[in-house]
Structure 1
Amino acid sequence: MSVGSDESDVDESDDTTNIDVDESNVDTDVDVSTANTMRDRAGESRIKIRLLLATNRLVVTGVLAVLVFVAFVAAVTLLPPPLVPQLTSGDTIETMFSTMLSAVITGVTLVVTIGQLVLSQENGPLGEQRGRMENAMDFRDYAEELIGAPSPSDPSAFLRELVDVAEKRAKAVRDGFSGIESEQLQWEVQEFTDSVVGNSETVRDQLDGATFGTFDVLFAALNYNYGWKIFQVERLAYDHDEDLGDRERELLDDLKTALSLFGPAREHVKTLYFEWALVTLSQMILYAAIPALVVSAVMLTVVDAGTASGTLFGVSHMTLLVGGAFTVTLIPFLLFTSYVLRIVTIAKRTLAIEPLILRDSQR
Structure 2
Amino acid sequence: MAGFIKKYLVVTGILINISLLWVVFAKPDFYWGLQKSVEKNLRKTAPPVANVIFGEVIRYSLKDDLKQLGFDQWSPKPALPTSSNIIRSDQFKSLQAASNALSSGDTLQISQGTYQQAFIVKANNVTIEGLGHVVLESAIVDGKGAIVSKANNLTIRNIECRNIKAKAQNGACVRFHGKNLSLEHVYFHSGQQGLLTSNKAGKIIIEDSWFINLGKSGRAHGIYVGSDTELYISDSVFLGAKDQGHEIKSRASRTLIQRSIIASLSGFDSRLIDIPNGGELFILESILEQGPRSVNETAIGYGLEGKKYSLNTIKMRDNIIILERDGKNNLLHLKNPDTAVVASSNLVISSQTTNLPGLNFVFDSRAEAKLAPYPHLPPLPKHP
TM-score by length of structure 1 reads: 0.25
Structure with more helix by fraction? 1
Answer 1 or 2: higher relative contact order, Cα 8 Å, separation at least 6: 1
In proportion to residue count, which structure has more strand? 2
